[in-house]
C-alpha cells in the first residue's frame, strides 16, 4: 500500500537500522564503518613492519597504497551493508595512533581494522575474518572483541555462511585467539601450502541455502 505524508508526498519507510554499523564494545573500544578519512590512521598501523611480520611484502609504503587497500572495503560496505570495521581505542591504549575524526569518535585513535566480508572458498560462500592491529594496541583483547562480534552478526548478514579465519601457520597467536572464540582449526586451507584455516561452522540445517545475499545500502 502506498502512503503519503501530510503534504501529500509519497512516504518511504526508513530502512531498518543496522546496529553493526557502529558497535560500542568493551573497554571503550568502538567498531565502526570505515571512511576515507581513516586512511592516515590506517596507514600508520599498516606501515609498521611488525604488523606484517608474516607477510612483509604487504607492508604499506605510503598513504596512497593504503587508500587503494581500503577502497574495496568501502565498496563492500556500499554493496552489502557490512564489512571490515575501523577499530578505535582510547589514546591511552595506543598513544602513537592517529585520532579518528568522526563526530562520535570522541578522541579515540585508529588501532587497526577487523571484521568480516563475503568470500568464496572451494566454491562455497563464507564470511572471511580480517583483523590487524598496531603492536602497541595488541594485548588489549581487540581480536577477541572483533571475533565475538563477527560471530554474532554473521547469521544476520549472511544466514547459513560459515565464518573463517585464514592466517599463516606461523601466526600462533591469531590461531589461538580464534580457537578460544570457538573456531576449529582444520589445518591448511585446501589448495594452499601456507594458509591455515579455522572455521566457525553454522548448524548443518542452515547450510544448504547459503548464498551471498545482496544486503545493500549504507
Structural domain spans, the chain:
19-206
Average pLDDT, the chain: 88
Q: Are 142 and 133 in contact (CB under 8 A)?
A: yes
CA distance 172 to 60: 23
Number of other CB atoms surrounding residue 126 within 10 Å: 25
Residue 22: C-alpha distances to residues 4, 59, 86, 139 (Å): 31, 27, 10, 22
CA distance 171 to 198: 12
Residues in the chain: 218
- 50-93 pLDDT tens trace: 999 999 999 999 999 999 999 999 999 999 999 999 999 999 99
pLDDT at 202: 78
pLDDT at 5: 42
Fold (topology level) of 19-206: Aminopeptidase (3.40.630)
pLDDT at 6: 44
Mean pLDDT over residues 121-149, rounded? 95
pLDDT band at 203 (very low <50, low <70, confident <90, very high): low
Amino acid at each position: 500500500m502506498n502512503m503519503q505524508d501530510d503534504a501529500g508526498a509519497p512516504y518511504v519507510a526508513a530502512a531498518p537500522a543496522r546496529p553493526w554499523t557502529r558497535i560500542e564494545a568493551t573497554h571503550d573500544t568502538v567498531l565502526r564503518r570505515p571512511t576515507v578519512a581513516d586512511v592516515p590512521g590506517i596507514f600508520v598501523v599498516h606501515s609498521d613492519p611488525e604488523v606484517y611480520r608474516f607477510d612483509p611484502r604487504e607492508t604499506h609504503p605510503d598513504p596512497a597504497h593504503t587508500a587503494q587497500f581500503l577502497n574495496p572495503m568501502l565498496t563492500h560496505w556500499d554493496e552489502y551493508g557490512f564489512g571490515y570495521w575501523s577499530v578505535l581505542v582510547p589514546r591511552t591504549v595506543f598513544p602513537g595512533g592517529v585520532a579518528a575524526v568522526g563526530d562520535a569518535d570522541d578522541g579515540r585513535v585508529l588501532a587497526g581494522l577487523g571484521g568480516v566480508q563475503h568470500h568464496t572458498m572451494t566454491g562455497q560462500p563464507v564470511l572471511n575474518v580480517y583483523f590487524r592491529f598496531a603492536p602497541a594496541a595488541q594485548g588489549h583483547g581487540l581480536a577477541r572483541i572483533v571475533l565475538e562480534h563477527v560471530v554474532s552478526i554473521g547469521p544476520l548478514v549472511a544466514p547459513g555462511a560459515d565464518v573463517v579465519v585464514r592466517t599463516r601457520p606461523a601466526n600462533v597467536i591469531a590461531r589461538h585467539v580464534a580457537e578460544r572464540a570457538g573456531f576449529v582449526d582444520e589445518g591448511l586451507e585446501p589448495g594452499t601450502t601456507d594458509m591455515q584455516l579455522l572455521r566457525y561452522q553454522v548448524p548443518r540445517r542452515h547450510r544448504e541455502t547459503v548464498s551471498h545475499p545482496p544486503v545493500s545500502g549504507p
